[in-house]
Structure 1
Amino acid sequence: MFIVVLTYQAPIEEIDAHLKAHIEFLDDYYEKGVFLASGRRVPRVGGVILAEAESAEALRAIVDADPFLTSGVATAEIIEFAPTRAIPALSALVGR
């Protein structure tokens, strides 16, 4: 299990210019079962993606194709973790 932390490197107007392509990118990887949840950071300085992938390297290859990254308006940190507890609604994530 991975957390991807996106950090904006450009003004919001530049971020918004790439938002449609970023959302299409997200949709593609939701359909493939790689992305499990995502959303904006508060305040709006980036975003967070909860993901499942074979390895950090495999996920890095995916994330590096995000239009936010390819355009240079954001950077991404990938954090791997092993869920050991969750509320009942998220219990399927434990032990993955």
Structure 2
Amino acid sequence: MQLVLLRFASNKSEAGRFMEGHKQWLERGFDEGVFLVSGSIKPQLGGAILAHNASLDELQQRVSEDPFVAEGIVSAEIIEVAPSKTDERLAFLLS
């Protein structure tokens, strides 16, 4: 599983121009079973995504296709996490 941190760059004021494409990109990630959770990093620092079902290379490619990343609105950091214990509702993350 991976945690994707999308931190706003100095031109975050341009985000509105690319918001619709970013939302579509997020929706595609959920529809394809890669994204589990997405939300904002408070206070207005960017966003975070919990991902699974993708290799690091596949996720890096997917993240590069986010309009926010492609246009330099955010910088992306991907952190790989190897879960060793979960709540039983999240046991699928152990595989």
Q: Which residue number corresponds to residue 43 of structure 2?
A: 43
Task: Give SS of 1:3's match.
Answer: strand
In 2: Cα distance, 1:68 partner to 1:46 partner: 10
> Displacement, 1:11?
4.3
Aligned counterparts of 1:35 and 1:26: Cα–Cα separation in 2: 8
How far residue 55 of structure 1 moved from its aligned partner, in angstroms, is 1.8
For 2:34, give the aligned amino acid. Answer: V
Partner of residue 77, structure 1: 77
- Deviates most, 13-22 or 60-69: 13-22
2:23 aligned residue: 23
Deviation (angstroms), 1:92: 2.6
Residue 63 (structure 2) aligns with: 63
Compute the RMSD of aligned alpha carbons: 1.5
Q: 1:23 to 1:64 in 2, by over 3 A?
A: same
Does structure 2 conserve the Cα–Cα contact (< 8 Å) formed by 1:2 and 1:80?
yes
- Secondary structure class of the residue paired with 2:33: coil
What number of residue pairs does the alignment pair up?
95
1:85 and 1:3 mapped to 2: Cα distance?
A: 16
Gapped regions of structure 2 (runs ≥ 5):
none
What is the DSSP-based 3-state SS (H/G/I as helix, E as strand, rest coil) of the residue aligned with 2:50?
Answer: strand
| Counterpart residue type for residue 15 of structure 2 | I
Return the alpha-carbon distance in structure 2 between the equivalents of residues 8 and 59 of structure 1: 19
- Percent identity between the two aligned chains: 36
